[in-house]
Amino acid sequence: MEKLGPGDEDLIRVASLARQRAHAPYSKYKVGAAVRTKRNKIYSGANVENASYGLTVCAERCAVFAAVAAGETKYYDAIAIVIDDDKLPTPCGACRQVIAEFAPDVRVVLATTGGLRKATTLTALLPEPFLPGNLS
Ligand code: THU
């Protein structure tokens, strides 16, 4: 298992703050995420649900899209994901694929508000992503 790195607790804190802004009135399952880029900038996101349930966007994708919209498209150093539960979060398959587009080897830091921690890699979570290179 990977170790937590320097700055990971900061990233978890930012993800936890974002989590408080989640819009999850239907599932009540609030998720926060924060990505740190190689240029040491942090972008965060929370899950945003909709009365038309299928339109919901996960926290991880909100965070990645915020980074990309700010021009930070290359290689994230780490992404933290936080929930308030007695077990660790695990990013859904769609989010794994979206993260892989920009950072196939990124470190993934899983955390709970209660203090559980686990560090892993996107490679471990999604060993064979479909990448831009597959199109050429
Ligand atoms: N959710 C996330 O934000 N990230 C994931 O990786 C899994 C699921 C959200 C979507 C929905 O708002 C709620 O959690 C329950 O599925």
Q: What is the pLDDT of residues 48-103, one digit of tens each?
A: 999 999 999 999 999 999 999 999 988 889 999 999 999 999 999 999 999 999 99
pLDDT at 41 over 80: yes
Domains defined for the chain, CATH in brackets: 8-131 (3.40.140.10)
Q: What is the pLDDT of residues 7-33, one digit of tens each?
A: 999 999 999 999 999 999 999 999 999
Ligand 1 pocket test, candidate residues 55, 58, 64, most atoms within 8 A of CB: 58
Active site residues: 60
- pLDDT interval class at 44 (50, 70, 90): very high
| CA-95 nearest atom, ligand 1 | 6
- Residue 3's pLDDT is 86
Copy the structure tokens of residue 15: 């993800």
Q: Which residues line ligand 1 (CB under 6 A)?
A: 24, 27, 29, 31, 47, 49, 56, 58-60, 91-92, 95
Q: Ligand 1 mean position to 136 CA, how many Å?
A: 32
For tokens 């700010």, name the residue: 70
Sorted by sequence, the CB contacts under 8 Å of residue 41 that are 6+ apart come out as 67, 70, 72
Mean pLDDT of 112-123: 98
Q: What is the pTM of this model?
A: 0.97
**Is the CB of residue 29 less than 8 Å from the CB of residue 16?**
no
Dist. CA 39–CA 120, nearest whole Å = 21
Output b/e per residue, 69-89; b: 16+ Cβ within 10 A: eeebeeebbbbbbbbeeeeeb
Copy the structure tokens of residue 48: 């945003």
pLDDT at 1 over 80: no
> For ligand 1, atom 7, which residue shows the shortest CA distance?
92
